[in-house]
Amino acid sequence: MENMVWAVDGSFFGQRISGIQRYSIELLSALDALVPPGLVEIVAPPGVRVPVYENIKSVTFGARTGLKWQQLDFPAYLKYRGAKGLATCNVIPVFGFRGIAVVHDVCYRARPDFYTDLRGRLSAAWHRLQYRRIAQVAEHIITVSEFSKSEITKYYGVKPERISVVYNAWQQMQRIAPDERIFAKVPQLRRGQYYFSMANLLKNKNFPWVLRAARNKPDTVFAIAGGGSLAAEAKRLGLADLPNVVYLGYVSDGEAKALMHHCKAFLFPTLYEGFGIPPLEAVACGAPRIYVSDTPCMREVYGDCAGYIDLKTNHGYVDDVTPPKRDAAELLARYSWHKSAQALLDVLTQTAN
């Protein structure tokens, strides 16, 4: 691997942080402790701030921003530098890319029924183009679960040996101090006596299941964090004005940690995920139990440490959730950013050779 340089598309540092960006940030931070100087560079557009690392160099290149930078300036840098690319957020340059790409999931291909409005259809078309292009040109593909690996093989014909699994992890939650003031702000929440979920309007997150669960268990509070018009969506579903539902809106990381720690259970009735990190973060914050959907991905990631919601038969009954067989805290030993960074470094080494 002598003289080989891996150039990371660092444009995600200028984006709002969601699970994909968090994965990239934490993985690179852990990778920095493992790589020799000069092996990995982060290339970013002008105006994007990149953290200072010990062994990973950061470079500002080009004059564009956003998608134009990603599609034009990033491949120009790869050519100029004679480097291979590492793209960690589902997107590569359509032309001029060689290297490794991370595909977190192929939900846009597997579940087109989730994307029915104009914006959704356009986003699905763009991502399906990206999946196809990654399958065609990437020297190696990284994904976040064996389930997601099988989906990439199923839908895009990529041979399993071209795909490696590098899992998510949870250690970022250790840096967050719980903000207990949320319980003074929302007196309806009593420690240990509410169910907690984090929702949005994406169909795969299955927000309606939580509302039905609240309707079916009126004696217990259901706290729901998240932006968007959740209350308006509840009205559209005919599930508005449930007195035991508390819409928290966006919450800080510290508030989320406190809410996870003190809940009866963290609810995650997802319909499709590549990994599904929120329940793992909830366990890291001290949630006594997690209830997740009974899907192959959730079974792989959470094993016997979760309670499972059979979405085919359970249409909103928390008390009918299959209970966990093992302490959820055992889950934390399975995943770490150090292990994931070592797995990534192994892929970089093998691909370079």
Q: Residue 349 pLDDT > 50, yes or no?
A: yes
Percent of the chain clearing pLDDT 90 (strictly above): 92
Q: Are 317 and 200 members of one domain?
A: yes
Q: Are 224 and 310 members of one domain?
A: yes
Q: Are 189 and 104 members of one domain?
A: no
Domain containing residue 234: CATH number: 3.40.50.2000
Q: Are 14 and 132 members of one domain?
A: yes
The pLDDT value given to residue 320? 95
Q: What is the pLDDT of residues 129-176, one digit of tens each?
A: 999 999 999 999 999 999 999 999 999 999 999 999 999 999 999 999
Tokens of 172: 């970022």
Q: Residue 2 pLDDT > 80, yes or no?
A: no
Cα–Cα dist 244/193, whole Å: 12
Q: Are 222 and 76 members of one domain?
A: no
Q: Are 236 and 262 members of one domain?
A: yes
Percent of the chain clearing pLDDT 70 (strictly above): 99
The pLDDT value given to residue 336? 97
Cα–Cα dist 172/155, whole Å: 33
Confidence of residue 190 (pLDDT cuts 50, 70, 90): very high
- The mean pLDDT of the chain is 96
Tokens of 301: 């990631």
Structural domain range at position 313: 171-334
Q: Residue 353 pLDDT > 90, yes or no?
A: no
Q: What is the pLDDT of residues 245-292, one digit of tens each?
A: 999 999 999 999 999 999 999 999 999 999 999 999 999 999 999 999
Q: Are 161 and 210 members of one domain?
A: no
Nearest to 147 by CA among 302, 349, 318: 302
Q: Are 34 and 143 members of one domain?
A: yes
Burial class (CB within 10 angstroms; exposed 0-12, middle 13-18, buried 19+) of 173: buried
Q: Are 41 and 184 members of one domain?
A: no
pTM score, whole prediction:
0.95
> Residue 99 — φ and ψ, nearest 5°?
140, -140
Alpha-carbon separation of residue 250 from 6, 160, 181, 182, 197 (angstroms): 36, 39, 15, 12, 12
Q: Are 184 and 229 members of one domain?
A: yes
Strands 221-225 and 84-87: unpaired
Q: Residue 191 pLDDT > 70, yes or no?
A: yes
Q: What is the pLDDT of residues 218-245, one digit of tens each?
A: 999 999 999 878 988 999 999 998 999 9
The pLDDT value given to residue 1? 46
Q: Are 13 and 93 in contact (CB under 8 A)?
A: no
The pLDDT value given to residue 352? 84
Does residue 1 fall inside a structural domain? no
For the chain, the domain total comes to 2
